Amino acid sequence: QLQLVESGGGLVQPRGSLRLSCVASGSILSIHAMGWYRQAPGKQRELVAAVTSSGSTNDADPVKGRWTISRDNAKNAVYLELDSLKPDDTAVYYCNENIRRTAWGMWNLYWGQGTQVTVSS
């Protein structure tokens, strides 16, 4: 059973910071891209940031310059540093990882369960 477990969400004041973590556990051969998405109430899920296996990153415009995505391949983990948080950042945040479990298997996208981030004074 492969699963992604997220942590680090919570309630934070505007201009505050949080660090989200997402760790994959189970039988894993390799992981290609990893990413973070968010979904606010009444809105579609949207990409926040992604990082490839080589370390190249892609940040959505609303978070450029404020947040940083990183990964630890040894831990099968992806992180998101959220700085200068705004009320508009309030959403459920989901991680995903593109994982290959065996040498003859296909790449599949796995999702975390989501973690709530609420920015409010």
- 88/73 Cα distance (integer angstroms): 31
Q: What is the pLDDT of residues 65-113, one digit of tens each?
A: 999 999 999 999 999 999 999 999 999 999 999 999 988 889 999 999 9
Are 24 and 2 contacting, i.e. CB atoms less than 8 angstroms apart?
yes
Q: What is the pLDDT of residues 17-47, one digit of tens each?
A: 999 999 999 999 999 999 999 999 999 999 9
- 16/112 Cα distance (integer angstroms): 24
Q: What is the predicted pLDDT for the residue at 58? A: 94
Backbone phi and psi for residue 63, each to the nearest 5 degrees, phi listed first: -115, 0
Q: What is the predicted pLDDT for the residue at 57? A: 95
Q: What is the predicted pLDDT for the residue at 24? A: 96
- 72/86 Cα distance (integer angstroms): 27
